[in-house]
Structure 1
């Protein structure tokens, strides 16, 4: 998807690669904290965290994108994101290795995602931006957290905490 306007995005590192999510998606950035483990959840579900009295599902974005699980270090952060899920807005905590920047990308600098040559599902990507020595991958948050048959429902998990 090529945007019609400039995009302001939170840029972060994940498994040695650089990704970004639109600023409007990211509600806040938290220091990493351990999650309450959810029995029999999918591998990418790290558990639940409490954010000001609200139980938030925490996602290991590395696993969701097919990378090795996150190794927690001093720069590990949680991006609290709002993801459109049908008629409602789902709040998720997304584990990232390091937050790098908040950047503005000119609409003309965003390229379409090639169908071949990237290691992630192309429907998870809204576009790419060239940078010195590589690319910044603009993620499509809503599509990353949808199952093949529709949106994943986290409502039962929030009541379990």
Structure 2
């Protein structure tokens, strides 16, 4: 472990978690780092026919096909900007009924910062957003509001069946 990392770990407060911070339309959002498997540059994807426009495609990654969604397009209807800070973030997607989980790719703008804070600092924001259940609680700091994204709530049943068909098939 490098000296810099060791100092960072020693200085971490108990109960704090690391979050990957990114932006959608200039607003800040966060994913808990334990949900992140890998951060990659934006890569070429194979489109998926008949998928919602926010399903960006599929990626061959280490022998596995990984579906990728554009979180900006899903949230606000506009695809993520092609910037050098736009990343393809592979996350551990585990819907409630699926034990092992799968990799899901997320296209995220300005996914270059991290934040260490207590997850309890994120509080409900008072809206019932049934159309976007993945938008979690918010945390206020000097830069404004930061909203958590709940990875396991990103996909509805229909899109989950399209992207992960084996997970929704009943045994014969």
TM-score (norm 2): 0.76
Cα deviation digits, residues 14-56 of structure 1 (max 9, x gap): 2211111111110010000110111111111110111122111
Q: Does 1:100 align with 2:134?
A: no
Query: Which structure has greater strand proportion?
Result: 1
Query: Which structure has greater helix proportion?
Result: 2
Cα deviation digits, residues 54-97 of structure 1 (max 9, x gap): 11101011122134112212221011001112224121110011
Q: Which has the higher contact order (CA 8 A, sep 6+)?
A: 1
Contact between 2:19 and 2:31, CA under 8 Å: does it hold in 1?
A: yes
Q: Does 1:152 align with 2:160?
A: yes
Moved more, 101-110 or 129-138: 101-110
Cα deviation digits, residues 90-136 of structure 1 (max 9, x gap): 211100111132211124522212217x8x95632331111224211
> What runs of 5+ residues in structure 1 fail to find an aligned partner?
none
Contact between 1:114 and 1:122, CA under 8 Å: does it hold in 2?
A: no
The 4+ residue runs of structure 1 with deviation greater than 4 A are none
> What runs of 5+ residues in structure 2 fail to find an aligned partner?
1-14, 167-172
- The structure-2 alpha-carbon separation of the partners of 1:126 and 1:6, relative to structure 1 and needing over 3 Å to count, comes to farther
| Counterpart Cα distance in 1 of 2:109 and 2:119 | 27
Alpha-carbon RMSD: 2.4
